[in-house]
Structure 1
């Protein structure tokens, strides 16, 4: 099963400094979500071998096939931030 970014407050453009929701005016955490969710436009869905932490590493699931532009079920981000 793949891990994906969800509709949580951490990925919402309404999250402001101090983990506060600017729509509801309350402090929120990683597991919060609501109907006013708006995905941050800065997030990218660039899940291919070049952006995978395992690319050309010993723990790559498909070292013989891994190539730029190719995707697989074992992809993991090189760096993640919220």
Structure 2
């Protein structure tokens, strides 16, 4: 059995906003992996509270716990360019 972290549907270009796979036409969640995986381009490789647009703002998901350098699944980039 192989363990694959990078092939998670959360990191795939084929995942739609309603958690449906564009390739296979099924609903997926964070525990799914796939051999047809296409990695999303990373906006920034430093997702922590100190680099989050929500840090110390009303929109922060965890205002009582948030601290610089802490990791969070609700992270939003301060700057994004295409």
Question: What TM-score, normalized by structure 2, do the two folds share?
Answer: 0.50
The structure richer in strand per residue is 1
Change (3 A) 1:28 1:47: closer
Separation (CA, whole Å) in 1 of partners of 2:36 and 2:19: 16
CA-to-aligned-CA distance 1:3-61 (integer Å, 9 cap, x gap): xx74310111100132110011111011001011111114421268x538643xxxxxx
Question: What TM-score, normalized by structure 1, do the two folds share?
Answer: 0.50
Q: Where does the alignment leave 5 or more consecutive residues of structure 2 unmatched? A: 53-65, 77-82
3-state secondary structure, aligned to 1:10: helix
Q: Where does the alignment leave 5 or more consecutive residues of structure 1 unmatched? A: 56-74
Which entry has the higher C-alpha Rg, 1 or 2?
1
- RMSD value over aligned CA atoms? 3.0
